[in-house]
Amino acid sequence: MFRTRFAPSPTGYIHIGNVRSAIYPYLIAKQSDGKFILRIEDTDQKRYTAGATELIVETLRWLGLNWDEGIEVGGPNAPYFQSERKELYQKYALDLIKKGRAYPDPTPPETIDEYRKSDSAKKIPYLYRNHRPEESNLPPEEILKIWHEGVPLRFKSEPKNYEWHDEVMGDLKTGPEVCDDIILIKKDGLPTYNFAHIVDDYEMRITHVVRGVEYLSSMPNYLALYEALEIDHPKFVSLPHVLAEQGNKKLSKRDGAKSAVDYKNDGVLPEAMLNYLTCLGWNDGTEQEIYTKDELIEKFSISRIQNSSARFNETKLLWQNGMWIRKIFDEDGCDALYERTTSFWPETADSYSDDYRKQVLSIIYDRLKVLGDLKTMTEYFFASPNIDLDFLTSNKFLKKFSEQELADLLRISVDRLQKIPEENWNPDKIQNALNELFTETGTKPAELFSLIRIATSFAPFSPALHLTAHVLGRENFLSRLNSTRSALINDEN
């Protein structure tokens, strides 16, 4: 059974590049009927951000990445906050001391900074093991007597060559020059990430560690710790960076990368986000672009993860989201999509019935990129638009007409459309009437349709005119045509 984990630090929102590091281990676990674990690595108290854990939980639940063990759901390896596992790390730290592989380090930060500057001036790599304090030479029994909280504990490295296999990056190796005496337990008594994650992954029986390639440089120190603790290491799955849209920089919060929650609030569907981020650096070797979660679980494979960076493309994400909006409507029906739209309608829609809003959704859905577009795209269905004659007369299809000519065309249109009785006001009858108007007015479809569309909506675009007219209703539609006509006449005079 595969056991994977997502182990974020609660230092703020998780941007979409981070989210991919949750999706891949989830898919790996589910594909093998394994377990996906959510652990919070909160030992860096200086960077802790209130509410960050809640945002992590909200993001994962929104995407449907439900975890089998971890915070909120519990499990056999509780607690799942690292700050609550202090005694466990102390146990492993004492084991390293007894083996002669850890020592207390009372060296003040100022002195360590001087070591760095000195090595830099000498143009040699800074390695703390070249500046070990006298305490590093004490026998284990003496260290056990003097080490206490308030004094950092360091790993006593034994530099050597390391070779290992990464499931994405292949066979890797490094020399002894990268091995160092890393801190295991900080001054505050809490472990560093470098130490805690190794202990936790072993205790939680993690089979695959999925994380960014930025951790590769630390792998020799991790492998040294596995050896010193005499425990087997899991398989490593290193994910190349997700790059920002512009340039070759890694996507990051510092550079304004949006959080998954921001996209959720914009009206991106979780299916689309899951679909897009999974395929950002992975493909199954086909031309398929739209995948359900079940399809991703079935088809995902570590061997198809790309070993080069992928560039985030918001345009592609929004395109896929539009495809998912249409997929839900076409396959599951209007009601299924309508349930997703609750918080995205304009305020003016509040007084209208669900049935009316569903009618609007049914003719606008295929134009939506995000559900948030409903606020701007549907306003005129719920409130009469402000008449803007400059907007009307500047339309490229209407520039050749005078205001009087446009008013005359609207009068003829009203006369023809009002011949349709209320009981026959349906899309087919409306379309037939519009078609007859071409002959009657001698205009082209682009001209007449643009005039009537703008006169009733004053929006940059709208759904098919006969559908818009039907949803707005006979009296409302004709009233708007007459109001615009009157405005044109008054302006002309």
What is the CATH superfamily name and number for domain 85-239? Answer: HUPs (3.40.50.620)
Mean pLDDT of 382-409: 96
Mean pLDDT of 218-228: 97
| Span 430-450, pLDDT tens digits | 999 999 998 899 999 999 999
Mean pLDDT of 184-199: 96
Whether 430 and 456 have beta carbons less than 8 Å apart is answered as no
At the second CATH level, the architecture of 1-71+240-332 is: 3-Layer(aba) Sandwich (3.40)
Give yes or no for residue 16 having a pLDDT over 90. Answer: no
Long-range contacts of 447-452, Cβ-Cβ distance < 8 Å, separation of 24 or more: 447/397, 447/398, 447/401, 448/409, 448/413, 450/395, 450/397, 450/398, 451/392, 451/395, 451/397, 451/398, 451/406, 451/409, 451/410, 451/413, 452/410, 452/413, 452/481
Mean pLDDT of 416-430: 97
* Separation between Cα atoms, residue 393 and residue 401, nearest integer Å: 8
In which band, very low, low, confident or very high, does the pLDDT at 393 lie, cut at 50, 70 and 90?
Answer: very high
pLDDT value, residue 258: 87
Give yes or no for residue 46 having a pLDDT over 80. Answer: yes
293 counts as catalytic:
no
- Give the active site residue among 253, 258, 327, 358: 253
Strands 153-155 and 102-104: antiparallel
Mean pLDDT of 178-194: 95
In which band, very low, low, confident or very high, does the pLDDT at 245 lie, cut at 50, 70 and 90?
Answer: confident
The structural domains of the chain, with segments of one domain joined by +, span 1-71+240-332, 85-239, 389-492
| Span 98-130, pLDDT tens digits | 999 999 999 999 999 999 999 999 999 999 999
pLDDT value, residue 296: 97
Domains 1-71+240-332 and 85-239 share a fold: yes
| Span 56-90, pLDDT tens digits | 999 999 999 999 999 999 999 999 999 999 999 99
pLDDT value, residue 493: 67
Question: Does 1.10.10.350 match the CATH number of domain 389-492?
Answer: yes
pLDDT value, residue 125: 93
